[in-house]
Structure 1
Amino acid sequence: MTASFKYYEFFAGVGMARMGLGDDWQCLFANDCDDLKYASYADNWDGEHFDKRDVALVSAADLIGQADLAWASFPCQDLSQAGAKKGIGDADGLDATRSGAVWPFLNIVKSLADEGRHPTLLALENVTGLLSSNGGNDFQALCSTLSDGGYRYGVVVADASHFVPQSRPRVFVIAVRREVPVPRALRSDLPQAPWHPPTLLRASAALPEKNASDWIWWSPGLPPGQRVRELVDIVDVSDAADWNSAEATSRLIGLMSDTQLERLAAAKTAGRPMIGSLYLRMRPSREGGGGNVQRCEIAFGDTLGCLRTPKGGASRPRIIVVDGESVRTRLLSVREAASLMGLPDEFKLPETYNECFKLIGDGVVPSVVRFLADRILEPLAQHSSAFVSLIGERKTSA
């Protein structure tokens, strides 16, 4: 089958965006400088077009053909709540950060435009901290660069919880060449819930006038009515799972505050098994002397907390299952985590626990990508192709 669309994928990871785009999209170029991610990508996909160099070493000449889309899930370490919050630095590289790898990517896009090979569409994905980092200046700088590069743009904030049982809100900056008319069905005059939350409203309102004129309120429509799999279908509550010992669970309960103990007591009276996320966090001590103490916190619901790359034992994702007076705790398994991301059982992952969670925690949920491709990216790409053909016919007839 011949693919309808072509794309470049930067910061490709293990190819979760590729999975979401699907067979209608042909990957012309993929890039990621992480050896572990490359190895996993090659295990699951055709790695023929994969470039393992740092994005700063890649040039437009390394990219073949002309793509409809350039996708970039650039590093989030300096934008996330768990990170250093250094932001994206600056475009000239004098103040470089890990999340600042977005600037070399945008330089490549500019070079492609200079050659007349600019992608019609850009999609930049990251954590919601992108909207507020450095007092909003990072987001403004990014939008300004897109405007200067000849693109109009907007943002969809999509929480993966609409698609999989995991709370994972992410920012998707979707840009289209300024000369391409945007179909009325793909945009709205006003922001729409749930795609345009208050944090985005504040960020867009702060844009300088010269950039605000390029802003688009994308309208992807209603989220799906239900998830493909629910939490109870993913989490193993059987005795065969690798549960902590009773003593270890008791120690965790002993780290709970009164508020958390009340939450645990309420779960015991639910009349059904309750699955929740369990977190180990440092909190200010309420006793004399100040300082922080380790606390155990829990949250119950139909989703688990956002998966992330573990940096130590305390950051590993844990679950708690309460069924009446029975309370059991354990680490989330690799396969459960993969399912929470929407990866199929046959998706190949590394053998070690930390390596698996490094790949999973850095990924984008494929079903979210598919939704955006179906609702915005593919209609835009089709419309652009028809528009270019029409312009070509008019020039020929003239």
Structure 2
Amino acid sequence: MKLEKTVADFFAGIGLVTMGLIKQGWQVKYALDYSDEKRQMYQNAFGVGHYHCKDIREISGTEVPKVTLAHASFPCTNISVAGSRSGLHSGESSTFWDFVRFLHEMGELREIGKPPLILIENVEGFLTSGRGEDLIVALKALNNLGYAVDIFIIDAAHFVPQSRVRLFIIGNLFSFSQTYDEIERIMSQQKGARPQKVKDFIASNPTIKWSLRNLPDLPQRTTNLADIVDESEEWWVKERTEYLFNQMFERHKSQIRLMMQNEYWSYGTVFRRMRMRSGIKQSTAELRTDGIAGCLRTPKGGSARQIIVRAGFGRFDARLINACESARLMGASEYLIPQNISLNNILFGFGDAVCVPVIEWIAANYLNPLFNELNSMIKASQRAA
């Protein structure tokens, strides 16, 4: 038996995890999500035949083909610091347990078996949800299925001009539980992807079956916000831009005025938030000018739409970030955006996705080496038999 680079992509969305894995030689045999608009976008980009538009709670592991890797980006609604924080056992985030159920049901079928590798993605808030208990319970559930686990955090800003911090879990069925000394040695060598809060979590949970791997330093980003701007998009009319300007704190207005004095364009982004301004809680335009966009969101309300601004040559312009720019911020500039899907649904798809070069980096530096090691182990055991 030899493992193949095959994947089942749960909560597949519009397919940005699929895109990242394909770029590193993986083949997605099964993709699942419940949104028809996401299905249309996915199939427009990656073809038909393997995407299933169903609620994960309504299907079983018997419907999933044999694969080497199972990926799940389950909803963050109930564990995000921006959400309800009601926990892993409530609301949409409870679908994590359906992913666990899938793995168990696949393991019950000898002709299929559990995937030897799993990859899980969610918001950084998973680390602290329920005072850390949600993540502990989740990791122990994976241990109970036979998976030794590893965790790390990556900010997409290492790859693209967008601040997007995410927690990743990788599990495998072949590793022995590491000793405390082995864990300490690996963590002492790690910096970027395992910040201190991750190291502290690992160190404070020795009963979890860990399988940590050395990770290289995260790359330094080579692009900034100006590189993703779609110059063909029209800017707002003067009155609308002035209205946005007047919603800013005075310090942000001063920053815009300085930028306007330059003989070149400077770019920034704005989110509208309810803030105390002039002694009144009101909609406030908060400016960011460090060359990085804020984290793309799903546009469920007007405040969730991120605004891009430019200033220079005595001018100040503003408008909403468009679909093309959203794709670029997710490292998916080549993504085929369909013409028959509403802009809101397109933006929802990108805001609910995983940054492509982050997945590429994980595949190149973790999944592919682990895959090769597992195949070598299988080959050695076959020779011994």
Task: State if a TM-score over 0.5 links the two structures.
Answer: yes
Give, in angstroms, the shift of residue 377 of structure 1.
0.2
Matched, 1:302 2:287: no
Matched residue, 2:373: 383
**Cα distance between partner residues in 2 of 1:165 and 1:306:** 10
Matched residue, 1:281: 273
Name which of structure 1's ranges 258-267 and 337-346 shifts more when overlaid on structure 2: 258-267
Matched residue, 1:331: 320
CA contact (8 A) 1:243 1:329 kept: yes
Matched residue, 1:253: 245
- The match for 1:112 among 106, 128, 135 is 106
**Cα distance between partner residues in 1 of 2:177 and 2:273:** 49
Give the counterpart letter for 1:26 in structure 2. Q
Give, in angstroms, the shift of residue 267 of structure 1.
3.3
- The match for 1:340 among 329, 332, 343 is 329
Give the counterpart letter for 2:91 in structure 1. T
Q: Please state whether the residue corresponding to 2:31 is helix, strand or coil.
A: strand
**Cα distance between partner residues in 1 of 2:347 and 2:203:** 37
Give, in angstroms, the shift of residue 303 of structure 1.
1.6
Number of residue pairs aligned between Structure 1 and Structure 2: 374
CA shift digits 1:18-45 (9 cap, x unpaired)? 1101162122221111111112112122
CA shift digits 1:96-145 (9 cap, x unpaired)? 31011111101111222333512111100011111111211111111111
**Cα distance between partner residues in 2 of 1:73 and 1:36:** 18
Give, in angstroms, the shift of residue 302 of structure 1.
2.1
**Cα distance between partner residues in 2 of 1:255 and 1:346:** 34
Unaligned runs of 5+ in 1: 90-95
- The match for 1:215 among 210, 223, 228 is 210
Change (3 A) 1:256 1:72: same
Matched, 1:77 2:77: yes
**Cα distance between partner residues in 1 of 2:262 and 2:213:** 40
Give the counterpart letter for 2:129 in structure 1. S
Change (3 A) 1:346 1:381: closer
**Cα distance between partner residues in 1 of 2:281 and 2:37:** 35
Aligned 1:2-81 pairs, distance under 5 A? 4-22=4-22, 24-65=25-66, 67-81=67-81
Give the counterpart letter for 2:115 in structure 1. P
**Cα distance between partner residues in 2 of 1:279 and 1:225:** 26
Q: Please state whether the residue corresponding to 1:320 is helix, strand or coil.
A: strand
Matched residue, 2:255: 263
Change (3 A) 1:330 1:88: same
**Cα distance between partner residues in 1 of 2:330 and 2:9:** 19
Give, in angstroms, the shift of residue 259 of structure 1.
2.8
Change (3 A) 1:298 1:285: closer
CA contact (8 A) 1:139 1:203 kept: no
Q: Please state whether the residue corresponding to 2:121 is helix, strand or coil.
A: strand
Identity %: 28
Superposition RMSD in Å: 2.3
Change (3 A) 1:84 1:327: same
- The match for 1:143 among 132, 139, 155 is 139
Q: Please state whether the residue corresponding to 2:256 is helix, strand or coil.
A: helix
CA contact (8 A) 1:152 1:177 kept: yes
Change (3 A) 1:200 1:299: same
Matched residue, 1:92: none
CA contact (8 A) 2:327 2:335 kept: no
Unaligned runs of 5+ in 2: none
Matched residue, 2:281: 292
CA contact (8 A) 2:229 2:325 kept: yes
- The match for 1:360 among 347, 350, 370 is 350
**Cα distance between partner residues in 2 of 1:263 and 1:218:** 44
**Cα distance between partner residues in 2 of 1:80 and 1:277:** 22
Name which of structure 1's ranges 47-56 and 314-323 shifts more when overlaid on structure 2: 47-56
